[in-house]
Amino acid sequence: MPNITSTKRERKNLTKALCEARVTRQTKYYDKQVAGLYVSVTPKGAVFNLKYTDPATRKRGSLKIGVYHPETFNVDHARREAYLLKARIGRGEDIAQSARQVRELHAKLSGVTVDQIIDERIAWASALVPKGRDKDGVKLKMGPRKKDWANMASHLNRFVRPRLGKMIASEVTKHDIARLQADILAGTLIIKKGKTTKKGSISSARHMRKAVSGLFNWAAEAGRDYVSSSPCVNLPPLDREPPRTRKLSPDEIRTLWQGLDRPGITVDRRICLAIKFALVSMLRSVELLHIHRDELVGGLSCEKPLVVIPEERVKAGREICQPLSDLAVEIAMEAMGNHQWMFMGRFEDGPLNRKSMACALRGNTVRRGGKLVVRSIGLCAQLAIKPFTPHDLRRTAASLMGSLKVPRSVISMCLDHTVNGDEHGEVSAVTGRHYDQDPRIEEKREALQILADEIRRIVSTPAHQEHKLAA
């Protein structure tokens, strides 16, 4: 059995046994017979490479020769190929440049389009793979290869496919990406029939760049070689996005809360309750809208109600244990009733859509005959409140907690943010990530109850009296 743990560079006679050795990490074996030839053995297989010195630049390089196969490409094949390459190097040829040209020619001849690569990328990212085991370590958990694959797919389909989809992937240049970015910022990129991107949307341009960069890096990986390298280099820099500061004032909270209970409101009651719950619980939209009865520990009627949001729905990819205040329980009981989902969808076959609150707040418009037609008036317009988003409710709740002297470390925990410090000073990131695993449920429960009491006080206090108290 060959020594598979040695990391010291030593020359051996490469053999079938070395190439087929079982290893737990990458191990390299250099050949005694051909200088520079080595085999890189990994848990997935073995690859032959040649380490050489470029005769023009005198720089060291390494070139892949081939993947080991006991019959079609064994040690003898690799040695013959290495001798041929060394002869070409001796004649002054840049073998790395020659290899790149061959790959580019192959990509052009294959005619692989950006549309095809996008389809493959989405299928690869959404494929179910093992994601560890359950809490008891018994059942194998499966999940998509990339957690945020749906967002990535949306950005590729909306921004990249309309402009670059029909192009041969290997012919896309950095200038094509730069023009796409410029059109997104200018608001001239058509993403749907008659609909363009929002003018000056730095966020859309940033999402496009992240998605297209990941696409071409993936397409350039060994084994695919659809492109020789990513064109997403030396692109014009994006301006920094201005920070979002929108939070609701006490008067706006009162107007919103009372308006959501108004009989003539045109928004579904379950969406109204979800907006209230978002403010009280401090959870994100996708975390709260898909709450299932099984995620309520002990049910809503127990002494200390608690909801456990699974890691699949959490932005940071970790489980959230969020206590529920008495006001949150009151809202949840009305919303859930006898259903399995806390916020049941319109057709009662699943939870509300993750965008239901955002759409209800801003309203819905469609373009017909070149004109915008209002299909539904948003809650903000109906209640005469300055527009805000569901995420602004988290900022509002955090600001209320801060005004009530709740420590910022506790506010961070309620928001499921990484705690970088507390009243005693800075906290190492590794402490919270790997060592301190206590969910601090009682601290969060106390803070969320303080928030609920303050919201009750604001809603029940008349506006004129609130202004006198503030003065």
pLDDT of residue 7: 42
Same domain, 326 and 464: yes
Enumerate the β-bridge partners of residue 71.
none
Under 8 Å between Cβ of 189 and 197: yes
Same domain, 348 and 380: yes
Q: Choose the final residue of a domain: 64, 93, 122.
A: 93
pLDDT of residue 209: 95
Give me 409's structure tokens: 């470390």
- 0.75 surpassed by pTM: no
With CA atoms as reference, report the closest residue to 321 among 278, 352, 344, 287: 287
Residue 430: what are its φ and ψ, rounded to 5°? -70, -25
Same domain, 310 and 357: yes
Same domain, 171 and 132: yes
Is residue 98 included in any domain, yes or no? no
Is residue 443 included in any domain, yes or no? yes
Is residue 201 included in any domain, yes or no? yes
> How far is residue 385's CA from residue 379's CA, in Å, rounded to a whole number?
8
Running DSSP on this structure, what letter comes out for residue 293?
A: G
Task: Report the number of secondary-structure helices (H) and strands (E) in the chain.
Answer: 19, 16
Same domain, 305 and 370: yes
Residue that the structure tokens 């005198």 belong to: 58
Per DSSP, the three-state class of 301 is coil
Query: 11-12 and 27-31 as β-strands: parallel, antiparallel, unpaired?
Result: parallel
Give me 414's structure tokens: 């309620």
Is residue 198 included in any domain, yes or no? yes
Same domain, 293 and 388: yes
Same domain, 121 and 89: no
With CA atoms as reference, report the closest residue to 298 among 441, 413, 140, 447: 441
Is residue 5 included in any domain, yes or no? no
pLDDT of residue 99: 78
pLDDT of residue 367: 58
> How far is residue 422's CA from residue 116's CA, in Å, rounded to a whole number?
50
Is residue 236 included in any domain, yes or no? no
pLDDT of residue 368: 62
Angle at the Cα of 162 from the Cα atoms of 158 and 167, rounded to 5 degrees = 135
Same domain, 122 and 44: no
> How far is residue 208's CA from residue 202's CA, in Å, rounded to a whole number?
10
Query: 60-67 and 45-53 as β-strands: parallel, antiparallel, unpaired?
Result: antiparallel
With CA atoms as reference, report the closest residue to 52 among 99, 16, 14: 99
pLDDT tens for each residue of the chain, 471 residues long: 444 444 456 788 899 998 998 888 888 999 999 999 999 998 888 999 999 988 878 888 888 888 899 888 999 999 999 999 988 888 888 888 887 777 666 656 567 899 999 999 999 999 988 876 666 666 677 888 998 899 999 999 999 999 999 898 888 999 999 999 999 999 888 777 667 777 888 999 999 999 999 999 999 887 787 888 899 999 999 998 888 899 999 999 999 999 999 988 888 999 999 999 999 999 999 999 999 999 999 899 999 999 999 888 888 778 899 999 999 999 999 999 889 999 998 888 889 998 999 999 998 876 565 566 667 889 999 999 999 999 999 999 999 999 999 999 899 999 998 776 655 556 555 545 544 445 689 999 999 999 999 999 999 988 666 555 554
DSSP for 115-145?
HHHHHHHHHHHHSEEEEEE-TTS-SEEEEES
pLDDT of residue 24: 86
Our count of domains for the chain comes to 3
**C-alpha distance from residue 162 to each of 106, 157, 192 (Å):** 25, 7, 9
Q: What is the CATH number of the domain that holds 415?
A: 1.10.443.10
Q: Choose the final residue of a domain: 219, 239, 267.
A: 219
Same domain, 17 and 162: no
Same domain, 437 and 376: yes
Q: Choose the final residue of a domain: 173, 203, 219.
A: 219
Query: What is the domain extent for residue 144?
Result: 114-219
> How far is residue 162's CA from residue 191's CA, in Å, rounded to a whole number?
7
| Helical residues (DSSP H) of 282-325, grouped into ranges | 285-289
Give me 267's structure tokens: 């928004």
Same domain, 20 and 146: no
Same domain, 317 and 416: yes
Is residue 333 included in any domain, yes or no? yes
Enumerate the β-bridge partners of residue 425.
422
Give me 355's structure tokens: 């965008």
Is residue 57 included in any domain, yes or no? yes
